[in-house]
Amino acid sequence: MKTTQAPQAAKGLQFQLDKQTLQVQIELSSLLRSLGAPTTLVTDAISIWENNLQVEVEPSPESELPLCYLPVSQIPQFIDQILDQLSSESRATALRFSEAFSTVEAQVNEVEILKRSNNPKVLGAVLQWMKNNPASYALHELMALQQKRAVMTAPTQAAQGAL
């Protein structure tokens, strides 16, 4: 499994779990601050990403902007969309974030494959990882469940053709 160092600015990120969908979400202003991007991009994001954001009516304590939460799985696409609005230093940080979140999603897929293995050594390694890193394992489990739900609720090609 490839590991990627999280960008240093990641320390100020705020996450939440949507209990209905079991989606891990990131608070958009905290992401923008961590990237060194202006938080005023939140208002642009609301209009562009409105179907993918969970918007809280109350403004955040740090600004007058509403709290917006984006599913973690969509961070790379969001970053791609705002790259041209960032300084060169912020752009480099944003690309590292995008790579890190893409890597986490890839690792979730790898862990799911490993967990289905009948190889006792592989199963032992996964069990050891679960014991040593319970928070990391829990995050992987939530993301795996989220991926499974997305696949189960995605319309099939046959159903799309019937419309």
Residue 92 C-alpha from the chain's centroid: 18
Which segment of 52-61, 123-132, 151-160 scores lowest on mean pLDDT?
Answer: 151-160
Share of the chain above pLDDT 70, in %: 69
What pLDDT sits at residue 162?
44
Residue type (1 letter), 124:
G
163 found inside a domain? no
Report how far residue 133's alpha carbon sits from residue 126's, in angstroms, rounded to the nearest whole number.
10
Question: What mean pLDDT value characterizes the chain?
Answer: 74
8 found inside a domain? no
41 found inside a domain? yes
96 found inside a domain? yes
pTM across the whole model: 0.62
Residue-wise pLDDT for 71-112, tens only, equals 888 889 899 988 988 999 899 999 988 888 888 777 777 777
For the chain, the domain total comes to 1
5 found inside a domain? no
What pLDDT sits at residue 50?
78
Give the domain range for residue 81.
13-154
Terminal-to-terminal C-alpha distance of the chain: 41
4 found inside a domain? no
3 found inside a domain? no
Residue 91: CB partners within 8 Å, gap ≥ 6? Answer: 83
Residue-wise pLDDT for 54-70, tens only, equals 887 666 566 677 788 88
133 found inside a domain? yes
Report how far residue 26's alpha carbon sits from residue 18's, in angstroms, rounded to the nearest whole number.
10
